[in-house]
């Protein structure tokens, strides 16, 4: 071992902790779908129970939403898109029901009801005054938006994270993953990231891995874009593994694929849940780097 002089410091070359790197924005946050419900929409478990009731799921043990959607797809629906549209309809009705129970004024409720068929679930929630950033449960979302991250990943199909970023004075760019579908699909503009775009803390990228409820500009509903059922998630993992790293073939943009090599902060995932295991083994762990020294921090909100 070397002989140190007394005045020499042995700590100067110590790497930053993951906490320091997160505070500096040098990490990749990944938000779960359930985190959005817990922070914005009355709790994920409450919605899961409502969804189970609406699809006629009567078994005592409540599975995750992906399994519930699988049950609905093969028990009640004639097509994949019908299943996803019904899920989005359930989401809107759940928001409306809870807002009404919370004492929202009748005029606002009536206006939202009149527009329910023409807007996506995120815009419908906005009509009813959600997200409520003045309420304590939304504070963690605002805290996340105020950190200097350049890229955010989420499996939520809502745009509440973008609402929080705009509340923080930022101008996010919304894009989603082409986990399924031909390259010339109608929503292809949401897959492509302009070559000139460089994510920054002022203009961060919000990348939706499991689709979007509606187009953020045209407001057109996008139920077919959702990776909702358990079968969808398995198909997505297979498709993302194929042609990994190949130019013009990889279903994840190079910008996003590269961000997965940074420290990763998983928010609102259960370590024993299927969503966490799929993300970890499908996207985070298998980076192809033998000397991977990233930190993976999991926070259960």
Residue 10 confidence (pLDDT) above 70: no
User: pLDDT averaged over the chain?
Assistant: 86
Residue 130 confidence (pLDDT) above 60: yes
Per-residue pLDDT reduced to its tens digit, 60-85:
899 989 999 999 999 999 999 999 99
Which pLDDT value is given to residue 25?
76
Max intra-chain CA distance, the chain? 77
Residue 166 confidence (pLDDT) above 80: yes
Residue 50 in contact with residue 94, Cβ under 8 Å?
yes
Task: Enter the pTM of the model.
Answer: 0.89
Of all residues in the chain, the percent with pLDDT exceeding 90 is: 51
Q: Give the residue with greater pLDDT, 284 vs 76.
A: 76
Q: Give the residue with greater pLDDT, 289 vs 42.
A: 42
Per-residue pLDDT reduced to its tens digit, 184-237:
666 778 988 988 999 999 999 999 999 999 999 888 899 999 999 989 988 888
Which pLDDT value is given to residue 74?
96
Three-class secondary structure assignment of the chain = CCCCCCCCCCCCCCCCCHHHHHHCCCEEEEECHHHHHHHHCCCHHHHHHHHHHHCCCCCCCCCCHHHHHHHHHHHCCCCHHHHHHHHHHHHHHHHHHHHHHCCCCHHHHHHHHHHCCCCCHHHHHHHCCCCCCCCHHHHHHHHHHHCCCCEEEECCCCCHHHHHHHHCCCCCEEEECCCCCCCCCCCHHHCCCCCCCCCCCCCCEEEECCCCCECCCCCCECHHHCCCCHHHHHHHHHHHHCCCCCCCCCCCCHHHHHHCCCEEEEECCCCCCHHHHHHHHHHHCCCCCCCCCCCEEEECC
Per-residue pLDDT reduced to its tens digit, 11-60:
555 666 767 777 777 889 999 988 899 989 889 999 999 999 999 998 98
């Amino acid at each position: 071992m070397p002989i140190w002089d007394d005045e020499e410091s042995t700590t100067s070359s110590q790497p930053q902790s993951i906490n320091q790197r997160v505070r500096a924005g040098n990490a990749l946050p990944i938000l779960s779908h359930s985190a959005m419900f817990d922070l914005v929409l009355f709790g994920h478990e409450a919605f899961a129970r409502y969804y189970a009731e609406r699809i006629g799921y009567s078994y005592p043990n409540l599975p995750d939403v992906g399994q519930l959607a699988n049950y609905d797809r093969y028990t009640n629906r004639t097509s994949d898109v019908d299943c996803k549209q019904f899920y989005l309809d359930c989401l809107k009705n759940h928001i409306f029901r809870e807002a009404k129970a919370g004492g929202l004024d009748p005029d606002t409720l009536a206006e939202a009801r009149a527009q329910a068929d023409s807007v996506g679930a995120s815009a419908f929630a906005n009509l009813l005054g959600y997200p409520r950033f003045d309420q304590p449960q939304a504070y963690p979302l605002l805290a996340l938006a105020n950190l200097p991250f350049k890229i955010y990943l989420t499996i939520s199909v809502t745009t509440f994270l973008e609402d929080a970023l705009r509340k923080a004075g930022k101008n996010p760019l919304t894009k989603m993953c082409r986990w399924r579908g031909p390259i010339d699909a109608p929503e292809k503009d949401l897959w492509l990231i302009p070559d000139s775009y460089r994510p920054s803390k002022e203009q961060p990228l919000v990348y939706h891995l499991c689709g979007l409820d509606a187009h953020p500009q045209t407001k057109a509903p996008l139920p077919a874009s959702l990776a909702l059922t358990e079968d969808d998630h398995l198909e997505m993992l297979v498709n993302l593994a194929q042609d990994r790293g190949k130019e013009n073939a990889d279903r994840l943009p190079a910008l996003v694929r590269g961000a997965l090599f940074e420290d990763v902060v998983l928010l609102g995932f259960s370590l024993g849940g299927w969503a966490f295991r799929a993300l970890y083994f499908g996207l985070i762990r298998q980076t192809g780097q033998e000397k991977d020294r990233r930190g993976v921090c999991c926070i259960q909100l």
